[in-house]
Amino acid sequence: MIRAALAAALAAGLVASSAASESARTPKYSLRDLGTLGGTVSAATDVNVWGQVVGASTTVDGYSHAFVWSSGKLTDLGTLGGQSSYAIAVNDSGAVVGYSELAGSARAHAFLWRRATGMRDLGTLGGSQSFAVDVNDAGRVVGRSFDASDTPRGFVWTAGTGMRPLLGDPFSVAGAVGASGVVGGSVGLPLVPGTWRTPSAPFQPFVLPSGFGTGETHSLNAYGDAVGTLSSPGGVRGFFHHGTTTRALRTIGGLYDQAEAYSISNARRIVGVAYRGQLENSGGWLARGPSARPQLLGDLAGRPGWSLASASAVNDLGQIAGTGSHEGQPRAFLLTPDRAERAGNLNAFAPGGRAFHARLRRTVARSLGQLAQKRKARACGMLKRLASSGSRERTLSAPVRSVFATDVRAVARGLGCR
């Protein structure tokens, strides 16, 4: 995801394509059980554009360990010497952040895991514990830590500066390689949602809709959009923020009188959890745009023995990671939409000039047509050239080029291209 400051330059060309993506078409989804690390329980927290999912699972010994799932394989990320660890977020380079207990202690430190180097302790702000909650493609990490007086503080970490304090509760950081990264979160008591344009900039609170007094920002996307949760005496609702406007999202209705929004993609797909009362009868949901009515995941990808209780994250191809119940046991899952929906997600994230946008739509449509005629090599060649031209497209800013080219390559890989 990329910095919110790009929103003004992109808005005019993006609103129309976003509205078109909220059509009545109902895509088909396949459900993948991500399994466990030998125990009985697993939970998914994030998914990147390559379909890599992170979360935590119980082991044979009954401890929770952070994991990354990729191409059917579940990898135990280990710990920082303690018994348990939890993965919270993954970027498009496969870097994972979360927190882990330390050797001989129940206290936890934030970690950054990379396949080549393993799990790295990010330390604290001088206190006893820290917890990482997000990482962007530039390697910027945000989270919470205790300072020297054991007061909880937000933090931003980079390899160059280490851990620096941030006033408030950060939950999300935007930014591709080369972008500074807007941070989303909340500040104050009661909490008010908003963003920090840069880690050193003052917090910018959102103006909340009438009737709502508190909230939390949970996720940011390429447009500078944010989603999160609003609270009022009447209950909890998801929200969508763009520009200077924050509005409550539509509800599912029926049994579900409460809802929270957890993630928004660059194609403006939004996911979260709906429930009744105190988390009774919870159900994960998807809205295919900020004005669309949410749909329960169970209605999109129901399978016998499964209850899809919560959706944690959605990527730019429309894949959804979450946690459900399989035969009564909590289990991580990944939903993958059909080819047409994946292409629709790519078309919805189509910033740039009109000519580029038209070329994108033509190329994606033609590549799918070639696949239907079993001309895979031609289809893959078209997508390869689209990714290459997108990475040089002058109507896109440099960070957007990087994100868009990666998305196209991920679409191609999902279609079996090498």
Domains belonging to the chain, first-starting first, are 4-337 (2.130.10.150), 344-414 (no CATH)
State mean pLDDT over 65-94: 97
The model's pLDDT over 330-350, given as tens digits with 9 standing for 90+, comes to 999 999 999 889 888 888 876
Residue 236: how many CB atoms within 10 A of its CB?
Answer: 18
pLDDT score recorded for residue 353: 77
State mean pLDDT over 135-157: 93
Of the candidates 123, 200, 216, which has an alpha carbon nearest to the alpha carbon of residue 166? Answer: 200
pLDDT score recorded for residue 395: 81
Of the candidates 126, 116, 161, 127, which has an alpha carbon nearest to the alpha carbon of residue 141? Answer: 161
Is 413 a residue whose pLDDT tops 70?
yes
Burial class (CB in 10 A: 0-12, 13-18, 19+), 210: exposed
pLDDT score recorded for residue 14: 27
State mean pLDDT over 94-118: 96
- Categorize the per-residue pLDDT at 401 as very low, low, confident or very high, splitting at 50, 70 and 90: confident
| Preceding peptide of 190 cis, ω within 30° | yes
State mean pLDDT over 126-140: 94
Paired tokens of 210: 């009438």
- CA 254 from chain centre, in angstroms, equals 27
pLDDT score recorded for residue 8: 22
Is 360 a residue whose pLDDT tops 80?
yes
State mean pLDDT over 174-187: 76
Percent of the chain with pLDDT over 90: 65
State mean pLDDT over 384-406: 85
Instruction: Give the count of alpha carbons within 13 A of 282, CB side only.
Output: 17
State mean pLDDT over 307-313: 95
- Categorize the per-residue pLDDT at 94 as very low, low, confident or very high, splitting at 50, 70 and 90: very high
pLDDT score recorded for residue 6: 22
pLDDT score recorded for residue 180: 61
Is 65 a residue whose pLDDT tops 90?
yes
Is 316 a residue whose pLDDT tops 70?
yes
Residues in the chain: 418
pLDDT score recorded for residue 117: 95
At residue 292, what is the residue type?
A
Better-scored residue on pLDDT, 129 or 371:
129
Is 177 a residue whose pLDDT tops 70?
no
pLDDT score recorded for residue 221: 87
Better-scored residue on pLDDT, 260 or 222:
260
State mean pLDDT over 231-244: 93
pLDDT score recorded for residue 189: 79
Is 134 a residue whose pLDDT tops 90?
yes
- Categorize the per-residue pLDDT at 3 as very low, low, confident or very high, splitting at 50, 70 and 90: very low
pLDDT score recorded for residue 36: 97
Percent of the chain with pLDDT over 70: 91
Dump strand ranges (E) for 107-251.
108-114, 118-121, 126-135, 141-147, 152-158, 162-166, 169-173, 183-187, 192-196, 203-205, 214-220, 226-232, 235-242, 245-248
pLDDT score recorded for residue 190: 84
pTM for this prediction: 0.91
Is 89 a residue whose pLDDT tops 50?
yes
pLDDT score recorded for residue 2: 30
The model's pLDDT over 31-45, given as tens digits with 9 standing for 90+, comes to 999 999 999 999 999
Q: Is the CB of residue 207 less than 8 Å from the CB of residue 246?
A: yes
pLDDT score recorded for residue 172: 86
Is 86 a residue whose pLDDT tops 50?
yes
* Among the ranges given (152-156, 185-189, 241-245, 262-266), the one the predictor scored with the smallest mean pLDDT: 185-189
Q: What is the mean pLDDT of the chain?
A: 88
pLDDT score recorded for residue 13: 25
Q: Rounded to whole angstroms, how far apart are CA atoms 205 and 242?
A: 13
Q: Rounded to whole angstroms, how far apart are CA atoms 400 and 406?
A: 10
Is 17 a residue whose pLDDT tops 80?
no
pLDDT score recorded for residue 18: 37
